[in-house]
Homo-oligomer: A and B are copies of this chain.
Amino acid sequence: MSTAPIQTQYDAFKQLGLKLDMSRGKPAPEQLDLSSGLMDGLDGYIAQDGTDTRNYGGGVGIAEARALFGELLDVPAAQVVVDSSASLSLMHDVVVYSLLCGLPGHAPWLSSQPVTFLCPVPGYDRHFAICENRGIKMINVPMGEDGPDMDVVEQLVASDASIKGMWCVPKYSNPGGVVYSDQVVRRLAAMKTAAPDFRLMWDDAYRFHHLGEEKTGMPNILDACAEAGNPDRAFVFASSSKVSWAGSGVAALAASPANIAWWTRHAGIRSIGPDKVNQLRHVRLLQDKATVEALMERHRALLKPKFDIVLAQFEEYLGQVPGVSWTKPSGGYFIDLVTPPGVAKRTVALAKEAGIVLTPAGAAFPYGKDPEDSHIRIAPSFPSLDEIRQAAKGIALSLRLAISQ
Q: How far is the CA of A400 from the CA of B57 in the complex (A)?
A: 32
Contact of A85 among B32, B84, B110 (CB under 8 A): B84
Q: Which residues, 262 to 311 on A, are CB-close (under 8 Å) to B?
A: 266, 269-278
> A13 contacts the other chain (Cβ, under 8 Å)?
no
* A213 interface residue (CB < 8 Å to B): no
A54 and B41: CB pair below 8 A?
Answer: no
Is A339 on the interface with B (CB-CB < 8 A)? no
Please, how many angstroms separate the alpha-carbon atoms of A245 and B92 in the complex? 26
Contact in complex: A277, B245 (CB < 8 Å): yes
Chain B residues, CB < 8 A from A93:
270
Q: Which of chain A's residues 27-76 have a Cβ closer than 8 Å to chain B?
A: 27, 29, 32, 38-42, 45, 52-58
Count residues of chain A with CB under 8 A from any CB of chain B: 53
Contact of A275 among B85, B100, B126 (CB under 8 A): B85
Quick check: A96 and B88 within 8 Å, CB to CB?
A: no
> Which residues of B are found within 8 Å of A99, using beta-carbon distances?
100
Segment at the interface with B among A130-138, A160-168, A228-236: A130-138
Contact of A32 among B54, B86, B108, B266 (CB under 8 A): B54
Interface of A is mostly: loop
Q: Is the CB of A27 within 8 A of B55?
A: yes
Q: Which of A29, A110, A247 has the most CB of B within 10 A?
A: A247
With known contacts A55-B32, A275-B85, A270–B100 Cβ distance under 8 A: no
Say whether A248 faces chain B, with CB atoms less than 8 Å apart: yes
A89 within 8 A of B: yes
Asked if B24 contacts A248 (CB within 8 A), the reply is: no
* B133, B247, B272: the one within 8 Å of A266 (CB): B133
A202-259: which residues lie under 8 A (CB-CB) from chain B?
A: 241, 245-248
Min distance, Cβ A281 to any Cβ of chain B, angstroms: 10
The reply to whether B277 and A247 form a contact with Cβ atoms under 8 Å apart is yes
Decide: A57 and B96 in contact? CB cutoff 8 A: no
Instruction: Please state if B133 and A271 are interface contacts (CB–CB under 8 Å).
Output: no
Tell yes or no: A195 within 8 A of B by CB: no
- Tell me if A26 counts as interface (CB < 8 A to partner B): yes
Provide the bound-state CA to CA distance between A80 and B26, in Å.
26
Tell whether, in the assembled complex, residue A133 and residue B55 are in contact, meaning their CB atoms are under 8 Å apart: no
CA distance A32 to B57 in the complex (A): 14
Known: A89-B270, A247-B273. 11 other contacts (CB 8 A): A26-B57, A32-B55, A40-B41, A57-B247, A85-B275, A88-B272, A130-B269, A133-B266, A247-B274, A247-B275, A247-B277
11 contacts between A and B (CB under 8 A): A24-B56, A26-B57, A38-B42, A53-B247, A54-B245, A54-B248, A56-B246, A88-B271, A88-B272, A126-B272, A248-B278
